[in-house]
Structure 1
Amino acid sequence: MASFLGPRPDRVMIIYPAIDLLGGRCVRLVQGDYARETVFSDDPAAVGARWVAEGADRLHLVDLDGAKVGRPINGAVVRRIVETAGVPCQLGGGIRSDADLAEVFGWGVRWAVLGTRALQDPAWVRRAAEQYPGRVVLGVDARDGFVATDGWLNTSTTKAADLAKMVEDAPLAAVVYTDIARDGMMSGPNYDALAAMRAATRLPVIASGGVSDHAQVQKLVDAGTYACIIGRALYEGQIRLPEALAQVRTAGGA
């Protein structure tokens, strides 16, 4: 299907460097555990500028404070990242109302990722997508195949694929699928779960969680993954962004 995420004329997979925000700093959590935090920078805008300088043409931002309390928190930091980076950014974390959506779009964010409220009220997500066609992304965070909510603090009884099916008829941009067990673990993506999600929905699927080396990037490409988010592996040097971008531009002769 045609995607609202933009064309891919010179690549076979989009790569989003991740910037997770907690207390105004750039951090990474392990399996979404707020007690297992690693601080990578006190200047998230400089981090975003670094990834852009290395070739990134979009960024994935997460407001971890917002996800925990249920409303967007890190507005000033997000604004600085957007302004400094100069590339389209998507943001998730605590966006659960019409007012929240208007607020984060006012920060200059291109795409808003909706997770917790999507499970609570799928009809609202459809209405939001109709109000902002192509600017709303469904965030599906799964633990053992079931949707987790509230900053991954709670796990529902709804299967990840079922949530995607509930809202796929709306003009959503994509679905971000995160396997919590893999997030921050450097253990590789859950390829089977990603394949199941691609089979379950017509929406472009963005893989998130566990991507930790260049071979795994290639495996995602070979599986036909539309896009992926890379976090800890970039910060720890296991994946070098220029090389990963070259991979997805040249893989398969693209």
Structure 2
Amino acid sequence: MFLYPAIDLLGGRCVRLRQGDYSRETVFSDDPAAVARQWVSQGADRLHVVDLDGAKAGTPVNGEVIRRIVGAAGVPVQLGGGIRTDADLDAVFSWGIRWAVLGSKALKDPAWLLAAAHKHPGRIVLGLDAKDGYVATEGWLDVSRVKAVDLARRVQDAPLAAVVATDIATDGMMAGPNFAALAELKAAISLPVIASGGVSSADDVLRLAQAGLPGAIIGRALYEGAIDLGSVLQLVRATAVPDRRLL
């Protein structure tokens, strides 16, 4: 199982939101690159970065900060937030990003998502942000009437790297993931499913591993000390076989 410490960027700073609400932010650091080095020093072999400004603007915004994170981390970085054109993809890959997470544009233009996946095989991740099972877009500001599972089924045969499944109701709330929704998605598609939202304890991580989830993104629980990254990495590496599709 792979763990992805999360670095969410707003105004160039490392923050965490509660349930995707931009008015409920907690600032954890003015130096996101230092945060990246911190997680890598504790054993992280990959990072998950979200450009929250980009998600609202519809195009990546924090490019300079993201380039510093990539340079400081020295490990593969996954990036989401505002990536909606071929030019955006070319830009983020030029910054050294390994995987690009596509969310809003994937719902509005699945054909573009499929074309991007074939152009960049193994480097595109479908970001499924869901509220009550329905896909949310535009930085979680809009909720569609498309079920997350249905969108995932529609594109699962493309050469995507994975699906990041985020339950908005649990994100940042330190109350545990939506295990039922994750199980439903995992059973519905063949792509690797990376859990995101609500992971708040080592027990949560172990339960995800035991359920066969190949990856999990952890945010607030790391920043508030509820999860010790080094310890939980040792736990999952001892109990779960990594999914090589995520290498």
Aligned-pair CA distance for 1:166: 1.2
| Of 80, 83, 100, the match for 1:92 | 80
Alignment of 1:89-238 (within 5 A): 89-238=77-226
| 5+ long unaligned stretches in structure 1 | 1-12
**Cα distance between partner residues in 2 of 1:140 and 1:216:** 20
Query: Secondary structure in 2 aligned to 1:158?
Result: strand
Aligned-pair CA distance for 1:249: 1.1
What residue identity is the alignment partner of 1:228?
A: A
Instruction: Return closer, same or farther for 1:169/1:50 CA change in 2, 3 Å cut-off.
Output: same
**Root-mean-square deviation (Å):** 1.0
What residue identity is the alignment partner of 1:247?
A: L
2:245 aligned residue: none
Aligned-pair CA distance for 1:145: 0.2
Query: Secondary structure in 2 aligned to 1:243?
Result: helix
1:239 aligned residue: 227
Aligned-pair CA distance for 1:253: 9.0
| Of 61, 69, 76, the match for 1:81 | 69
- What is the number of equivalent residue pairs in this alignment? 242
What residue identity is the alignment partner of 1:175?
A: V
Moved over 2 A (4+): none
Query: Secondary structure in 1 aligned to 2:27?
Result: strand
Query: Secondary structure in 2 aligned to 1:28?
Result: strand
Query: Secondary structure in 1 aligned to 2:122?
Result: coil
Aligned-pair CA distance for 1:252: 5.8
Q: Does 1:250 align with 2:232?
A: no
Aligned-pair CA distance for 1:250: 1.2
Query: Secondary structure in 2 aligned to 1:217?
Result: helix
**Cα distance between partner residues in 1 of 2:183 and 2:16:** 26
Q: Percent identity?
A: 67
What residue identity is the alignment partner of 1:217?
A: V
Aligned-pair CA distance for 1:94: 0.3
TM-score, scaled to structure 2: 0.97
What residue identity is the alignment partner of 1:204?
A: P
1:49 aligned residue: 37
